[in-house]
Copies of this chain bind each other. A is one copy, B any other.
């Protein structure tokens, strides 16, 4: 068997790609993946997410959470206490996305040396 023969699970061939694009553009943006991973073990509060996801601004965290909520991937629970408390949690649909997302994370983790070296080699030849 050559590498070219490997079969991958594919979406139906002639599917209209636009809706898929709209979904992927949400998942594959700068922050969504990290929010996903941060929520994998259960509900997390807003500022806890902010501390956990290094480098995210309050603004982008709010915006990205709203979009994920709109897509039904996470749920937002507001407790009207003082100080306010807002929990974010993966929905059932969101959890079903966790498997492919974690597969991607795992790939990235186990291939970082290879990529690091490829970058170094590329930069040598300019």
Contact = CB atoms under 8 A, between A and B. Distances in A.
A95 interface: yes
Instruction: Please state the number of chain copies in the assembly.
Output: 2
A70 B122 contact: yes
A105 B11 contact: yes
Chain A interface size range: 35 or more
B106 A71 contact: no
Contacts of A22: 112
Question: Could you tell me the dominant secondary structure of chain A's interface residues?
Answer: helix
B104 A100 contact: yes
A86 to B, nearest CB: 17
Nearest to A104: B100
Interface string A39-63: 0101000000000001000000000
Interface of A: 3-4, 6, 8-12, 15, 17, 19-25, 27-30, 32-34, 40, 42, 54, 69-73, 92-93, 95-112, 114-119, 121-123
